[in-house]
Chain A
Amino acid sequence: MTFIAPIKFAIDLLAVLLLALGIKGLSKVRSAREANRLAGIAMMLAAFGVLLNSQGTIGISINSWIWIICGTLIGGLLGALTAKRVPMTAMPEIVALFNGCGGMSSLLVALGVALFPSSGGSDGVVGELIRNFSIVVSLFVGAITFSGSIVAMAKLQGWLSTPSWTQSKARHFFNIFCAVLALIGGIYLSIDGQNGLFLIVIASSLLGIGVTLPIGGADMPVVISLLNSYSGVAAAAAGFVVGSQLLIVAGAMVGAAGLILTQVMCDGMNRSLVSVLFGGALGSSSVASGGGGEYTNITSCSPEECALSLEAAERVVIVPGYGLAVAQAQHTLREVTRVLENAEIEVTYAIHPVAGRMPGHMNVLLAEADVPYEQLKEMDVINPEFPATDVVLVLGANDVVNPQAKTDQSSPLYGMPVLDVQEARTVFVVKRGMSAGYSGIKNDLFDLPNTSMVFGDAKKVLGDLLLELKDLGVGSKG
């Protein structure tokens, strides 16, 4: 009996160490995969520690084992299946879904302890008031994480649109109302541990929906990252509820790391966290505020003309963006670049920090399509090379190639880091139509004399381009 506690302690320490090393390693390309496994091992160790400790001290009944195995099998199998099946383009949604479930788990733990104070929890270890307060935090953050993540996922999947009332001032009243209700419930529950329980759960769930629903699709990754941070907080709160320091450390680490990551993402998009959360979808307000105006000098061309220019080029830079990810055209793109490479045309990819549907997503998508890692150039590396580039192919990117960000101080985009594609000799922009990017701002690039628009879905245009290139006999000699 007595030697179990030190063993459990050692396991916990080891698990925390491995988790920290895991998070650290995940931030370097070379060590990332190992680090991910390390973190997985740490989680298994931690679970083993809890089971060992309980078996050695209070014992685990057969009944408990049955329910543990049921939960593990069902949750684990569903998780594994989802992870194997999901396409790489749906990554933001799936992270949101997983994240929501983590929040739900914390919520349920707190709910269980609140409903049956005598059986669960850490009686005698934590004071009554503190335990109730931890339950409140866990319920509140857990519910927001769950409902917010599910709304985020539904919006990214296109199952939910943005209702118009959420763009008006009414949503602020709705959210404040929900927050006040949750606060009232929280105070009740903190005091007597019974009343206000469901008031908190319902009010904070509604708050999660109310806050997430008005946010536009392009800002959603920031929200998911923030909710990811919340689910860490929820786990830490659950740690206070059941009296587990390991949970508190791990939750706090994820919470803090998530905040940093959220900040990094915001910086990349030149958006402040406040404007993402409370500004609603961009567009309605910013169109009027500047950078507007009509296009005067649009040149449009066919895939055939584009293919002719590509054939004559020596250096081609591809700028992939959100539109490419949405059209799932990364594989077709790879075929086009293979043809170009066979014709000994130098092809590189210019990756804006927020290209794709969330930062780093484009790298994953291109890696999936077999694009060599060395061909992906980051913005600071590729920008000086544009003047020596013959053809730039912009695929479904818009705001990240808008020269306004450097030239027009009145533009809302001013100051955002952009790719200087206009420096190249010829720019082709593949785009579905003349609609603005998510910032809702006119793109001066489209008006420049060296820019041609190729209208159409990225996947279809690239397919046509591939046929045209083959007709021209490009790259077929090898």
Chain B
Amino acid sequence: MSFFSEALWVLLLGSLLGLELIGKVPPTLHTPLMSGANAISGITMLAALTLIIKSGDNLPLLIIGSISLGFALFNVIGGFLVTDRMLAMFSRKKTRK
């Protein structure tokens, strides 16, 4: 049970941290922030990795894990790149001025 009780603490503190992190956001950044947070939610790729590593020679499980990993990375890589594209437009304005 020790993992479980620790994990509950982690869940609680993580949620509180998340609530605190986004206090004031200028409207300009709502869309990039949403897209960036979305990319982070692809962290579930770690679960997919763990699944593949632990599946040994179980082919169906390897396939499920691999598809899951693909979906997660689609989310992560796409999410970060698209956020960067949006933010690049803001910073370009700054430097040109």
Which residues of chain A have a CB within 8 Å of any CB of chain B?
Answer: 19-20, 22-24, 26-30, 32-33, 35-37, 39-40, 43, 46-47, 50-51, 54, 58, 60-61, 63-64, 67-68, 70-72, 74-76, 78-80, 82-84, 86, 88, 91, 94-95, 98-99, 101-102, 104-106, 108-109, 111-113, 115-116, 119-122, 125-127, 130, 224-225, 228, 231-232, 234-236, 238-261, 264-265, 268, 351, 353, 358-361, 363-364, 367-368, 372-374, 376, 378
B34-72 residues at the A interface, CB under 8 angstroms: 34-58, 60-72
Contact check, A250 vs B52: say whether CB atoms are below 8 A apart. no
Contact check, B61 vs A115: say whether CB atoms are below 8 A apart. yes
Contact check, A105 vs B7: say whether CB atoms are below 8 A apart. no
Contact check, B62 vs A67: say whether CB atoms are below 8 A apart. yes
Contact check, A252 vs B14: say whether CB atoms are below 8 A apart. yes
* Known contacts A27-B29, A250-B40, A361-B31; A373/B18 CB under 8 A: no
Contact-size category for B: 35 or more
Query: Given the complex, which residues of A lie within 8 Å of B47, measured CB to CB?
Result: 105-106, 109, 235, 238-239, 241-242, 244, 247
* Known contacts A71-B67, A119-B61; A367/B44 CB under 8 A: no
B67-91 residues at the A interface, CB under 8 angstroms: 67-91
Contact check, B78 vs A74: say whether CB atoms are below 8 A apart. no
Q: Is the interface of A mostly helix, strand, loop or mixed?
A: helix
Contact check, B37 vs A256: say whether CB atoms are below 8 A apart. no
Q: Is the interface of B mostly helix, strand, loop or mixed?
A: helix
Query: Given the complex, which residues of B lie within 8 Å of A19, measured CB to CB?
Result: 40, 43
Query: Given the complex, which residues of A lie within 8 Å of B90, measured CB to CB?
Result: 29, 32-33, 363, 367, 373
Contact check, B37 vs A27: say whether CB atoms are below 8 A apart. no
Query: Given the complex, which residues of A lie within 8 Å of B52, measured CB to CB?
Result: 64, 67-68, 71
Query: Given the complex, which residues of A lie within 8 Å of B28, measured CB to CB?
Result: 29, 360, 363, 376
Q: Which of A105, A116, A236, A261 contacts B72 (CB 8 A)?
A: A105
Contact check, A239 vs B65: say whether CB atoms are below 8 A apart. no
Contact check, A255 vs B86: say whether CB atoms are below 8 A apart. no
Docked complex Cα distance between A119 and B62 (Å): 11
Contact check, A76 vs B74: say whether CB atoms are below 8 A apart. yes
Docked complex Cα distance between A99 and B22 (Å): 19
Known: A71-B48, A232-B18, A252-B12. 8 other contacts (CB 8 A): A19-B43, A50-B53, A94-B78, A98-B42, A105-B68, A234-B44, A250-B43, A360-B27
Contact check, B18 vs A254: say whether CB atoms are below 8 A apart. yes
* Known contacts A26-B29, A108-B64; A260/B11 CB under 8 A: no
Cβ distance A202 to chain B, nearest Cβ, rounded Å = 17
Query: Given the complex, which residues of B lie within 8 Å of A70, measured CB to CB?
Result: 66, 70
Q: Which of B25, B73, B82 contacts A261 (CB 8 A)?
A: B25
Q: List 19 A-B contacts (CB under 8 A).
A: A33-B87, A39-B40, A71-B52, A75-B77, A78-B70, A84-B85, A98-B74, A125-B3, A126-B7, A235-B42, A242-B50, A246-B43, A247-B46, A248-B10, A252-B12, A252-B15, A256-B18, A261-B33, A358-B30
Contact check, B11 vs A248: say whether CB atoms are below 8 A apart. yes
Q: Which of A46, A235, A243, A364 contacts B89 (CB 8 A)?
A: A364
Docked complex Cα distance between A242 and B56 (Å): 15
Docked complex Cα distance between A232 and B56 (Å): 28
Query: Given the complex, which residues of B lie within 8 Å of A224, measured CB to CB?
Result: 34
Cβ distance A245 to chain B, nearest Cβ, rounded Å = 5
Cβ distance A386 to chain B, nearest Cβ, rounded Å = 19
Contact check, B17 vs A253: say whether CB atoms are below 8 A apart. yes
* Known contacts A232-B41, A256-B15; A23/B21 CB under 8 A: yes
Query: Given the complex, which residues of A lie within 8 Å of B88, measured CB to CB?
Result: 33
Contact check, B78 vs A79: say whether CB atoms are below 8 A apart. yes
Contact check, A71 vs B36: say whether CB atoms are below 8 A apart. no
Docked complex Cα distance between A231 and B35 (Å): 12
Q: Which of A35, A112, A358 contacts B65 (CB 8 A)?
A: A112
Query: Given the complex, which residues of A lie within 8 Å of B38, measured CB to CB?
Result: 95, 98-99, 102, 228, 231, 254
Contact check, A40 vs B80: say whether CB atoms are below 8 A apart. yes
Going nearest first, the 6 A-B pairs with the smallest beta carbon separation are A256-B18, A252-B14, A79-B78, A71-B69, A75-B70, A75-B73
Query: Given the complex, which residues of B lie within 8 Å of A91, measured CB to CB?
Result: 31, 35, 82, 86
Docked complex Cα distance between A35 and B40 (Å): 12
Query: Given the complex, which residues of A lie within 8 Å of B44, measured CB to CB?
Result: 102, 105-106, 109, 234-235, 238, 247, 251
Q: Which of A29, A37, A240, A360 contacts B7 (CB 8 A)?
A: A240
Q: Which of A99, A109, A255 contacts B48 (CB 8 A)?
A: A109
**Which residue of A102, A245, A268 has the most chain B CB atoms within 10 A of its CB atom?**
A102
Query: Given the complex, which residues of A lie within 8 Å of B82, measured CB to CB?
Result: 82-83, 86, 91, 94-95, 98
Contact check, B36 vs A256: say whether CB atoms are below 8 A apart. no
**Which residue of A116, A125, A257 has the most chain B CB atoms within 10 A of its CB atom?**
A257
Cβ distance A12 to chain B, nearest Cβ, rounded Å = 10
Q: Which of A43, A120, A242, A253 contacts B21 (CB 8 A)?
A: A253
